[in-house]
Structures are given as C-alpha cells and as structure tokens.
Amino acid sequence: MSNQNSMSSSFNGPIFNATSVAAEFRKSGFAILRNVFDKAFIDLLHTEFVQNYKHHLIPEDKEDALTVGNKRYKTSVELNAPFDSIDLLANSQIMPAVRKIIDDKVVLASVVCVTSLPGAQEQSSHRDHPWLFGTPIDRLLPSYALKMVVPLVPMNPETGTTRVWPESQNNVDAVALDSDSVDPVLDAGDCMFTDYNLMHQGLANKSGYPRPVLFLSYAKHWFRDEQNFQKQEHLVASKSVQRKLSATDPCLFSRVQASDY
C-alpha cells in the first residue's frame, strides 16, 4: 500500500446516509458532503498536480486541455500515485450514495482537473452535456451521470465557487440566470455531487493563486461523454495501476485504459 493510500485510509470521515444523499441529489441536482477526505491527502494531491502539470498554470491554450473559459483549463489527470488512491476513486463512505444515484453497474468515466488561474473571469453558465433526447421526456429521466467535485484548494468567494441552479437538472427550458442560484463554499476535504444536467458556472478567481479542482465522473455503463473529451483521453493509467484498479472492482474501473509504459 502506498503512503498516500495508508494516509487517507487511517482517516475516519463521517458516515453518510446514502438514501438521504441520493434523495437530496435527486431533488436539487446536487449534494454536498463535508469532510470526506483527509486534508493532508488533499494537500498531497494539490502538490502533485502543481508539480506535474506546471504548464496548466500558464494562461495560454494547451494541446492536452480544453479551454473552458477565460484562464480556465480542463485536463485529464493520469491515475498515477497519488491519483490512483482507492480512497479517492472509490471512497467507501461515498460509493453507496453514488450507486444509489446511478446504479450498481456504475463506471468511473473520467478524472479531470479544471484550473482557473488568478484573474480568471466567471464562466458562461452551462450543463455538462446536451439533453440525451432533446424532447420533454428528458425531464422525466433518472440521472445517467454525476460529477464529484473535489477542490484541491478551498473554493470560496475569493478563489471562486461553482455556482449551481438548484432543480435545473429537470428543467429542459432555458434557466433564467436571475433565478435563485447557490454558491457552495467547499473546504479542502469536502466534495459535492452535481448532476450532468445541472446548470452551473465556475466563478471568477479573484485570489492571487491558481484554483485547481478535480472532477470525477461516475456514469451509467452505457453513457460515454465525447463532448468534453475532444483533446484528451477520459481515463489513463500505467498498466500496473490499471491491473490494481481492475482487481479491486472490475466493473467500476472497466473504462481505465492502460498506457504503454
């Protein structure tokens, strides 16, 4: 077991009631879970990201990242240590809620990091994917994918929260931007689930430092997001990590691709 795995395994976060989290998520389109991850583990992820993805801290378009707003870049994160941690990818406290929301055949579909740089302006409001059918039936369908938002630095009015429009996941009409929205403040160690159909918007980064945020997507086994992956792979790991993950949960990790090294 790697240091980072043992570090976060020794952390006993709160026990969540999967049924209540799923009920809150289905109603609002999002749910916040506090103190899920050890702060020291989040600090480690942050340090590794900053060291290994230095070019994502420069305000220019990149070959391996989507530009998703002014000074805001979305890149896939390779599942090398510490990003291969089971406590991150299949956290035992939160997977029961993820399975209740999606289903027992849920797959980990992608792991990306969105970094907003100092001075980044607010994003346009958007949903993560076009409606599946583009007809009123969409408002009746259960959730087919969710994103787990894991801030690597606190998300607050200075660094920029992700603004969400509650209940917009079932509203196929355009959501008025002046309708009630929520700006959830998340500390390191917290996470938030958002429905793929929820209207949301990353707010401006008014701090003097980058704000990297991990987004893990969990989806129905038949759903594949091509829209957000025009430049990168969804999930890449070394062969040994791919084997480790697959041995842990072959279904959940069935989308992880092994790279050649």
Ligand X SMILES: O=C(O)CCC(=O)C(=O)O
Query: Where on the chain is the footprint of ligand X (CB under 6 A)?
Result: 68, 72, 74, 114, 116, 128, 162, 200, 202, 213
Give the nearer residue to ligand X in terms of CB position, either 85 or 116: 116
State the residue number with the nearest CB to ligand X: 202
> Measured from the CB of residue 174, what is the shortest distance to ligand X in angstroms?
18
Give the nearer residue to ligand X in terms of CB position, either 225 or 249: 225
Residue 126, CA distances (Å) to 101, 129, 155 in order: 22, 9, 19
Q: Which helix (H) or strand (E) holds 150?
A: strand 145-151
| 3-state DSSP assignment of residue 73 | strand
Give the nearer residue to ligand X in terms of CB position, either 10 or 124: 124
Tokens (6 digits) for 75: 């890149």
> Measured from the CB of residue 83, what is the shortest distance to ligand X in angstroms?
18
Rounded distance between C-alpha atoms, residue 60 and residue 42, angstroms: 26
> Measured from the CB of residue 184, what is the shortest distance to ligand X in angstroms?
10
Q: What angle do CA 70, 189, 77 make, to 5 degrees?
A: 50
> Measured from the CB of residue 42, what is the shortest distance to ligand X in angstroms?
16
Q: SS3 letters for 183-247?
A: CCCECECEEEEEECCCCEEECCCCCCCCEEEEEEEEECCCCCCCCCCCCCCCCEECHHHHHHHHH
> Measured from the CB of residue 72, what is the shortest distance to ligand X in angstroms?
6
Give the nearer residue to ligand X in terms of CB position, either 86 or 120: 120
Give the nearer residue to ligand X in terms of CB position, either 23 or 68: 68
